[in-house]
Amino acid sequence: MKAASALDYRALARRRLPPFLFEYIDGGSYAEVTLRRNVAELERIALRQRVLTDVSTIDLSTSLFGEAMAMPVGLGPIGLAGMNARRGERQAVRAAEAAAIPFALSTVSCCPLAEVAAAATRPFWFQLYMIRDRGFMESLLDAARAAGCTTLIFTVDMPLPGARYRDVHSGLAGAPGLRGDLRRVWQGVTHPRWAWDVGVRGRPHQLGNVAPVLGRDSGLEDFLGWMKANFDPSVTWRDLEFIRARWDGPLLIKGILDAEDARAAVALGADGIIVSNHGGRQLDGVPATVTALPAIVEAVAGRIAVLADGGVRSGLDVVRMLALGAQAVLLGRAWVYALAAAGEAGVAHMLRIIEAEMRIAMALTGRTRIADIDRTCLVEG
């Protein structure tokens, strides 16, 4: 099948990946109510079609924190992305760079910061969790600076990992030791393209940024166990002062769903927030990102940047988010589906699809610049 949309790449990724990896990137927490809401609530927002306006020249370019962007879209942080294609984060950062948009590397990426930096020629962003060992956090911040990272995304909605039933059913979690290893090996063997590309040629299979504390020979169960043991559930807003004091570049707080928390991020001195419910992977039953977005934009009142993610599967969805007040949109599953299906070329093609869809949505709502996209692009009520 030739991919014509981000959802086509989902179908291709499902064919290519072992189930334990596909279900990890595709699934949400508990009954996946919020996962479905993220997509469904975006689909319900009607664009207001306008005709006979001059849309012969459409400009998608914008800037954020002094960085020029070809369009207000970035590749958000995805854990274990490098297991979906050989040294996957290296491939993704090159695709983002070619498209002139930001790439954000996850703390729990497979490729470490230095390896991704070696594959890039322009700065990228880094995402960090609050970890019990503050000394290790400082070393990660030092590594991010050394890699030339310009912007730090600090994720605050994961004091404890959500319960993701699909990971248990697929064999990624819940079956430690030899039994779990054998199940995953069998899934890999029955997906030979992935087994050769990633299983054999994509070594080492590590969380590269965490490998110094886990050791070189750790398996997936050690990674997941370390995450559960080392994420800090005692963190409060005062703890984030530790991050603000040690990072002098732009700081984005990711995982904001409530207007009161948005105001707290402003008070902290954050440069921006990312309205996000972790792709429906944490607390199930919370609102869709796009539902929470307008009240948060109003609470922030232009004092800091507002970005959003969650449920975005097309350029039309990007325009919907922008119309509701987001200044930029981070893609998650959309880019990792494309990476899994076709590597760097897949991510690059998916971004061209998103761009083309944005141009069509802007043309048919009578908008020629990103700054012109606002609520008047939507059918209210």
- 175-205 pLDDT, tens digit per residue, is 666 566 788 889 888 999 999 999 999 998 8
CA distances from 194 to 16, 99, 161, 190, 289 (A): 6, 26, 27, 9, 33
Looking at every residue in the chain, the average pLDDT score rounds to: 93
**What does the pLDDT read at residue 54?**
96
**What does the pLDDT read at residue 172?**
83
In the structure, what pLDDT confidence band is assigned to residue 171 with cuts at 50, 70 and 90?
confident
- Given a cut of 60, whether residue 111 has pLDDT beyond it is yes
Distance CA 357, CA 223 (A): 38
**What does the pLDDT read at residue 166?**
93
**What does the pLDDT read at residue 252?**
98
Residues forming the active site: 278
Instruction: Spell out the SS3 assignment of the chain.
Output: CCCCCHHHHHHHHHHHCCHHHHHHHHCCCCCCHHHHHHHHHHHHCCECCCCCCCCCCCECCEEECCEEECCCEEECCCCCHHHCCCCHHHHHHHHHHHHCCCEEECCCCCCCHHHHHHHCCCCCEEEEECECCHHHHHHHHHHHHHCCCCCEEEECCCCCCCCCHHHHHHCCCCCCCHHHHHHHHHHHHCCHHHHHHHHHCCCCCCCCCCHHHHCCCCCHHHHHHHHHHHECCCCCHHHHHHHHHHCCCCEEEEEECCHHHHHHHHHHCCCEEEECCHHHCCCCCCCCHHHHHHHHHHHHCCCCEEEECCCCCCHHHHHHHHHCCCCEEEECHHHHHHHHHHHHHHHHHHHHHHHHHHHHHHHHCCCCEHHHCCHHHECCC
Q: Mean pLDDT across the stretch 121-130? A: 94
- 55-94 pLDDT, tens digit per residue, is 999 999 999 999 999 999 999 999 999 999 999 999 999 9
Question: Greater confidence, 99 or 161?
Answer: 99
Is pTM beyond 0.85? Reply is yes
Contact 335, 350 (CB under 8 A): yes
- 340-349 pLDDT, tens digit per residue, is 999 999 999 9
Percent of the chain at pLDDT exceeding 90:
79
As its CATH architecture, domain 6-369 has: Alpha-Beta Barrel (3.20)
**What does the pLDDT read at residue 116?**
98
Distance CA 338, CA 181 (A): 26
Q: Mean pLDDT across the stretch 216-239? A: 71
Q: Where do the structural domains in the chain lie, given as residue ranges?
A: 6-369
CA atoms within a 13 Å half-sphere pointing along the CA-CB vector of 29: 16
Which positions ≥6 away from 63 have C-beta within 8 Å?
69
**What does the pLDDT read at residue 13?**
98
Distance CA 317, CA 365 (A): 14
**What does the pLDDT read at residue 161?**
81
**What does the pLDDT read at residue 174?**
65
- Largest Cα span, the chain: 65
**What does the pLDDT read at residue 215?**
63
- Given a cut of 70, whether residue 221 has pLDDT beyond it is no
Q: Mean pLDDT across the stretch 345-370? A: 98
